[in-house]
Amino acid sequence: MVRVVLNDLQRNIHYTFKQVKHLAVALTHSSYLNENAEETAHNERLEFLGDAVLELSVSSFLYDKYPGAREGELTAMRSRMVSQPSLAALARKLALHSCLRLGKGEESQGGRTRDALLADALEAIFGAVFVDGGFAAAKGVIEALMAGNFPAAGKAADHLNAKDSKSLLQEIIQKRFQERPVYNLAGSAGPEHAKLFYVKLTLPDGKIYEDAGSSVKKAEQAAAARALKEYGA
């Protein structure tokens, strides 16, 4: 890893590593190891650690900033902030795509521009800061870099209403379980001009929510809203 690249990135994240090798590993994709036998570590373990550090840091910030918010509201805000698109956008802002070490195959397939790869690398950097300087250092880096993504004081409700219930629930569930909610039409009743459709929503943890609406889409939204409400109960 060219030292000037590492130095520039450290300036961009406002953190200087005691052991810069942690940063080098955070920038190393597994595909790079497949083509460079002298390398011994890639960033997947740091990504695993950084994901947890990121979630705890954002949770702590939101908990302090919105003392009146319910669990479901805090979960929704956190989900949007740590979503793959949000992290990938921040990674591009830091020019992280130009710092990554990728294998030739991954490079040729556009890996340097993929949201998933960029988001994972950013989480790996958070993990590297944690290993190098502890939780306080990692939390400081995360809060500084994500300052523009936190909802303004008093705007939590606007932040939550930016997406419909179904989309918002999907973000939360995918982040928590890496699976999507499942909606099934359970039936319908009433005359054609005033028919009600009943939808059953099943979450990966086995919880089921049912609701009805004048269309399947409206019934799905109602079931999702019910699930979100119970998350905040």
CATH at 195? 3.30.160.20
Is there a single domain that holds both residue 78 and residue 193? no
Q: Final residue of a domain: which of 140, 159, 178?
A: 159
List residues with catalytic annotation. 51, 123
Are 49 and 109 within one domain?
yes
Q: Count CA atoms within 13 Å of residue 87 on its CB side.
A: 26
Same domain for 107 and 172, yes or no, is no
**Is residue 210 within 8 Å of 181, Cβ to Cβ?**
no
Residue 215's domain comprises 163-231
- Decide: helix, strand or coil at residue 211: strand
pLDDT for position 2: 56
- The answer on 74 and 31 residing in a single domain is yes
* Cβ-count burial 74-110 (b if 16+ within 10 Å, e if not): bbbbbbbbbbbebbbebbeebebbebbbbbeebeeee
pLDDT of residue 4: 65
Whether residue 154 is found in the same domain as residue 194: no
pLDDT confidence of residue 93: 92
In this predicted structure, what is the pLDDT of residue 206?
A: 92
pLDDT at 232: 43
Contact criterion met (CB below 8 Å) for 111 and 117: yes
The total of structural domains in the chain comes to: 2
Residue where a domain stops, chosen among 125, 159, 193: 159
- Residue-level pLDDT at 233: 37
Look-up of token digits 């070490």: 101
Query: Does one domain contain both 13 and 72?
Result: yes
pLDDT recorded at residue 189: 85
**Average pLDDT per run of 10 along the chain, which is 233 residues long?**
76 94 93 79 94 94 85 78 86 90 82 86 97 97 87 53 71 84 91 84 93 87 82 46
CA distance 171 to 179: 10
CB count in 10 Å sphere of residue 172? 21
Cα–Cα distance measured from residue 69 to residue 45, given in angstroms and rounded to the nearest whole number: 33
DSSP 167: H
69 and 126, same domain (yes or no):
yes
Structural domain ending residue among the three candidates 108, 125, 159? 159
Question: 167 and 83: one domain?
Answer: no
Say whether both 143 and 102 belong to one domain: yes
Query: Residue 146 gets which letter from DSSP?
Result: T
Do 12 and 93 sit in the same domain of this protein?
yes
Q: Do 88 and 119 have their domain in common?
A: yes
The CATH number of residue 106's host domain is 1.10.1520.10
Assess whether 135 and 194 both reside in one domain.
no
